[in-house]
Structure 1
Amino acid sequence: MDSDSSATTGGGVGTAISAVHVDIIQTHILTRLDGPTLASACCASSQLHILSQDENLWRDVCNQTWPSTSDPLLRHLISTFPAGHRSFFSDSFSTLHHRHRSQTKRQLPPPPPPSELISAIDIHYQDHIILSRIHRTETVTGWFLCSPFRLDLLEPKETVPTPIKLDGANLEDNLTLSWVMIDPTQNRAANFSSRRPVSVNRHWLTGDIEVRYSVVLAGGRKGELVVCEAVVTCCGNSKEGGELQVKDVSFLMEDMEGKNLRGQQSLVILQEAVRSGERRKGKRGEERERRGEFLRMKRERRERNLRRERTMDMACIAAGVVIFLAWVFVLLRR
């Protein structure tokens, strides 16, 4: 049934949405919707499609979802997106999904490299914001291009207090992270973090809790994969009622050889993912499964390399023995 027509429900006559005053829809209905529901409202009717594209609505949705978007720098960048905050929400709400390069319809020319990448990081525990920051990363110096790619959000010895109690903290289910990167040259963004952790481990010596979030992407070469990992390290005193503190938040990229990618390699992969990466809201636990598959492939490659090295060692030893015996034989003939 068309949403613009009247509907009869439970023996009574329903009121069509078109009969509701526009001011009521804008002020009392659309402002109460979250991002996914507001996006669905755009498809409900032509009237809602027009009303749901209001920039102020999407700005409020973005600010509620990612408090970091209220930063003046980020607000200015989002204003350059094709549809402003609506475009930013569309790019960033769903995480990236790995897609083989052979699945890409056509190879587009690479975009110009940006002079910097802007990261918007928001960490929540349940409905409480723990940390919200903007991180700027220059991408043109030789130090960035040639060094291992790693972003550190906190300064050394800096800690962020949280209301999370050490005893009974359920980080795996309740600690969520969003790491959105913005490419100013493309006016696009992408979320490079799984919403929920793929692993939560306690260090056996220090007692620190390491929470990992990851996204697996296509690498620079065909068939290669890389993993983007955001790591949140928490510490806390062991006394009863002690609270956790965030002591480190970092982001890095690792290839199937177990090596951290250099800045230049990472920049190419990040830009490609922002431009043409597939975005979707997968089922819960899917990111953990993809990371497990990545680790399995990484382990198999390491085992193949070890077998190849052992074979080459044996061949070198055999060749050395043959040469030695030939030399002994020559000496005996004299």
Structure 2
Amino acid sequence: MNSDSPAAVPHGGATNISAVHPDIIQTHIFTRLDGPTIASAACASSHLHAISADEKLWRDICHHTWPSTAEDLVHRLISTFPAAHRSFYYDSFPTLHHRRPNNRRRHRQGPPPTSELISAVDIRYQDRLVISKTHETETVSGWFKCSPFRVDLLDPKETVPSPAKFQGGEDACQSDLEENLTLSWILIDPTRKRAANFSSLRPVSVTRHWLSGDFQVRFATILAGDRRDEFVQCGAVVTCDGKEGGELQVKEVSLLMEDMDGKNLNGKDSLVILQEAMEGGERRKKRGEERERYQDYLKKKRERFEGKVRREKRLDMVCIVSGVTIFLAWTYVFLRGYS
């Protein structure tokens, strides 16, 4: 072979990924990818897995995906997770699917209940950040345990301007909010070092209040309840108001828990369900499934209500028949005795 000929390169000139310097992969490749893509790449080889474990990489991804995680309180909490920001990302992305197996009862024993829940909330309109805020909720007082579970992100008189416009009429505005408004509501359990995103990310419904005229944008995650075939709605509602032709103002952002009878769960029961969902809920990457689960939940809720109405009607009929029968029996006895 001629000495000037290039040396033969195995594999048709391809270079093994392990030959690429880790700094190049970290700074020039991984920084251009999103979290799911990096997680998939980490499964390709032990070399990529080791590089993808870099804490700064996942911290930057978390801060970009959820700006609220950059706040000092949340940042400190995430640093206590087993793999810090990587663990937090795997817990919180993207949506939660919680369905308790039929052959397993709810376990109420385990690590002690947390003394607080931390909310990290980010609202965007057309990918423009509208609200990025954290909130602390204590979970040990009698007031929390016995009162309906509710987390209010904004102060009573606080409003936040948004880029959304109220134009084109009510239907057009509802459609615009449904397509362009997104919400992430991550609950963090500092005691168990777990987190989960309890928002559907995109709205499951947009309605206008008949009295106030406010637009109520609902995001919902359906969770397993206490009993078999029992489900609970963890719903986040963003309330916006504004005059036609002007900007919409966000005036209320709240998180509530509701059972299939339409009753709000108290703090004690809600905390048990939320913690179990963090521990056992499956993180799903399929988009659009949340709306399907919400519609299925509403269908089950209607069927439950209709069944309850039918049972009450049957009970009323039994009471009426029993009353008439007793009346006729006493009438017969009275007339017979009189004769």
- Taking structure 1 as the reference length, what is the TM-score of the superposition? 0.91
**What is aligned with 1:248?**
252
What does 1:116-195 correspond to in 2, within 5 Å?
116-167=116-167, 170-195=176-201
Q: Is the 8 A contact 2:81 2:193 kept in 1?
A: yes
Structure 2: distance between partners of 1:216 and 1:83: 28
Aligned CA-pair RMSD: 2.0
Match of residue 23 from structure 2: 23
What secondary structure sits across from 1:269 in the alignment?
helix
Distance 1:104 1:37, change over 3 A: farther
Q: Following the alignment from structure 1 to structure 2, what is the Cα–Cα distance between the partners of residues 7 and 258? A: 64
User: What's 1:38 paired with?
Assistant: 38
| 1:84-99 equivalences in 2 (<5 Å) | 84-99=84-99
Shift of 1:7: 5.3
Matched, 1:73 2:77: no
Residues of 2 paired with 1:259 and 1:203: CA distance?
A: 20
2:56 corresponds in structure 1 to 56
Which of 192, 215, 218 is matched with 1:212 structurally? 218
For each residue in 1:97-120, what CA deviation from the matched residue of structure 2 results, as whole angstroms up to 9, or x when unmatched?
132332669968443211111111
C-alpha distance in structure 1 between counterparts of 2:183 and 2:316, whole Å:
46
Query: d(CA) in 1 for partners of 2:152 and 2:108?
Result: 32
What code does the residue aligned with 2:141 have?
Answer: T
Secondary structure of 2:81's match? coil
Is the alpha carbon distance of 1:111 and 1:6 closer, same or farther for their aligned partners in structure 2, counting shifts above 3 Å? farther
| Corresponding residue SS for 1:41 | helix
Structure 1 residue 307: Cα displacement: 1.1
Partner of 2:281: 277
Q: Which residue pairs with 2:114 in the alignment?
A: 114
Shift of 1:174: 1.5
| Partner amino acid, structure 2, of 1:306 | V
Task: Return closer, same or farther for 1:194/1:105 CA change in 2, 3 Å cut-off.
Answer: same
Aligned partner letter, 1:180:
I
Counting matched residue pairs gives 323
Unaligned runs of 5+ in 1: none
Q: What SS class does the counterpart of residue 101 from structure 1 fall into?
A: coil
Q: Do the aligned partners of residues 104 and 83 (structure 1) sit closer, same or farther apart at CA in structure 2, a change above 3 Å counting?
A: farther
Alignment-mate amino acid for residue 86 of structure 1: R
Counterpart of 1:227 in structure 2 is 233
Separation in 2 of the partners of 1:108 and 1:157?
A: 39
Give the structure 2 partner of residue 309 of structure 1: 312
Q: TM-score, normalised by structure 2?
A: 0.89
Asked if 1:200 corresponds to 2:206, the answer is: yes
For 1:6 and 1:177, the matched residues in 2 are separated by 50
2:106/2:226 contact within 8 Å kept: no
What is the rounded CA distance, in whole Å, between the counterparts of 1:188 and 1:98 in structure 2? 15
Please state how far the C-alpha of 1:249 moved relative to its aligned partner.
0.6
Whole-Å separation in 1 of the counterparts to 2:42 and 2:122: 27
Q: 1:58 touches 1:85 (CA, 8 Å); kept in 2? A: yes
> Could you give the per-residue CA deviations for residues 166-191 of structure 1, whole angstroms, max 9, x where no partner exists?
22652212211111111112101011
Query: Residue type matched to 2:313 in 1?
Result: R
1:326: which partner in 2? 329
| In structure 2, distance between residues paired with 1:124 and 1:304 | 40
User: What one-letter code is carried by the residue in structure 2 that aligns with 1:187?
Assistant: K
Give the whole-Å Cα distance in 2 for the aligned partners of 1:317 and 1:248.
Answer: 48
What amino acid is aligned across from residue 96 of structure 2 in structure 1? L
- Report the more deviating stretch, 103-112 or 35-44: 103-112
1:311 Cα deviation after fit? 1.3
Distance in 1, Cα, partners of 2:43 & 2:330: 84
Corresponding residue SS for 2:258: strand
1:262 alignment counterpart:
266
> Is the Cα–Cα contact under 8 Å of residues 98 and 277 in structure 2 kept in the other structure?
no
Residues 205 and 111 (structure 1), Cα distance of their counterparts in 2 relative to 1, 3 Å cut:
same
Give CA deviations for 1:67-115 in whole Å, capped at 9, x if unaligned: 0101111111111111000000000012111323326699684432111
Q: Is 2:303 aligned against 1:300?
A: yes
The unaligned stretches of length 5 or more in structure 2 are 1-8
Larger Rg: 2
What's the secondary structure of 2:328's corresponding residue?
helix
Runs of 4+ aligned structure 1 residues displaced above 6 Å come to none
Q: Judging changes above 3 Å, is the alpha-carbon distance between structure 1 residues 319 and 6 closer, same or farther for their aligned structure 2 residues? A: farther
Tell me how far apart the structure 2 counterparts of residues 58 and 175 of structure 1 sit (CA, whole Å): 25
